[in-house]
Amino acid sequence: MRRQLQHPARIVPAAFLALVVIGTVLMMLPVSRAEAGFAPFVTALFTATSAVCVTGLAVVDTGTYWSPFGLGMITVLTQIGGLGIMVMATLLGVLISQRLGLRGRLMAQTESRTLETADIRRMVLRIVAVSFVCEAVIAVVVGLRFWLGYDYSFGRAVWEGVFHSIQAFNNGGFALYPDSLMRFVGDDWICMPLALGVMLGSIGFPVIFELAREWRMPAKWSTHTRLTVWGSIVLGVFGFVFVLAFEWNNPTTFGPLGWGDKVLAAFTQDVMTRSGGFNSVDFGAMNQETLTISTALMFIGGGSGSTSGGIKLTTFFLLAFVILAEIRGEPDVVIGRRRIAETTQRQAMTVALLGVALVGTGTLALLAIDRDITLDRAIFEATSAFATVGLSTGITPTLPESGQVVLVILMYVGRVGTIAVGSAIALNSRQRLYRYPEERPIVG
């Protein structure tokens, strides 16, 4: 057991599980509730998992059910979960001992999905610095808006600015209002900073660092950065146009808004499907077409090494290039004059198929547990949990406890990654000294 746990890909799921357990215990304490008494176990488990896994799904009204201590715990758990518990542990090791062993470097690489192994210590410090700077900027803008535009007291404005900025950059999605951001649907100074924070957090640190060095020279970008940047633009435009078109005349969502507010709402909701979790309109009142598009965007998610979930942009577009190469009959998959290794292709296929299997299994479980929910809403909720998005059509709080436990499992697996979970379960990886004869079964 000790030898197996020393493998970085197995320590990451175990570390997140330990953090969920600690968070659950703390959220159950009477000091965490606004009212007297202990919080129910499933409620505390769901909230702690949602915070650690930076999802944002909730079974209670976050702003009124939890005390200031409980809200502080949600904030801390979201921050730790967003940065990655291995990155935080590595940073503490750097600050205390100023030395970093090989195992620590590998664990940090496993959690943050970085592509470089040379100087993990510097990478960790840069990740933390970028995170805190971005969160501080968002907190200042949003806090000033609350203070000057809504006559909040200075202390309340600072607190809500900090809380929502951490949720935005870490793609958490918890809000202090029962309607999330619906009351601010037309407020540019609230929706735009939070949406931009979600975008930046969903790109991924490897891409952010590479763009900082070579943003003027796209020709020198790595394949990973190209897929992430151009994929984000393509899916962003696609989602924005279709959400705006399908909801333009919906009387329960965009219909009553002016054209400027409609554009802002469409942009905000398109961005939030990356993994943001905030909603400025009621997703339960959206058209079936919008829910279908949003479900697909949630399943794809954001960039690798980011705070977002899903199968990731690189996985989706890599498989698209694999299909294109197969249709053309080309022997290799080539992206930007770079040949993609077969092992990378198999990994992308594994991630995508495991994601489909998990969402499908979760959907069936929800339908079996609650006969009153419809298929489209069960798929939406399961996908939101797996992709750690946090958007909801409103059925999560009404699910039986067994249904909420299903969502807890999906959130956990979606955060640690399907590949990490698979590696943690596998006891050994073997190399055969022989290969069997090749055969081609009929496909299709």
How many domains, in total, are found in the chain?
1
Angstrom CA distances, 17 to 94, 217, 345, 423, stand at: 24, 41, 29, 15
Provide the pLDDT for residue 210. Answer: 85
Provide the pLDDT for residue 1. Answer: 52
Residues spanned by the domain of 352: 2-424
Provide the pLDDT for residue 443. Answer: 76
202, containing H or E segment = helix 188-203
Residue 434 falls inside a structural domain: no
Looking at residue 210, what DSSP letter applies? H
Provide the pLDDT for residue 96. Answer: 46
Inter-residue contact 390 to 276 (CB < 8 Å): yes
Residue 432 falls inside a structural domain: no
Provide the pLDDT for residue 44. Answer: 97
Residue 341 falls inside a structural domain: yes
* Spatial distance between the Cα atoms of 221 and 209, rounded to a whole number of angstroms: 11
β-bridge partners, 339: 334
Residue 441 falls inside a structural domain: no
Residue 29 falls inside a structural domain: yes
Residue 365 falls inside a structural domain: yes
Reference 65, options 98, 46, 39, 91; nearest CA is 39
Residue 439 falls inside a structural domain: no
Provide the pLDDT for residue 115. Answer: 47
Provide the pLDDT for residue 98. Answer: 47
Provide the pLDDT for residue 430. Answer: 60
Beta-sheet strands, E only, within 235-315: none
Inter-residue contact 350 to 419 (CB < 8 Å): yes
Which segments of the chain have a pLDDT < 70? 1-10, 85-86, 88-120, 418-431
Residue 105 falls inside a structural domain: yes
* Spatial distance between the Cα atoms of 444 and 432, rounded to a whole number of angstroms: 30
308-324 pLDDT per residue, tens: 889 999 899 999 999 99
Provide the pLDDT for residue 281. Answer: 95
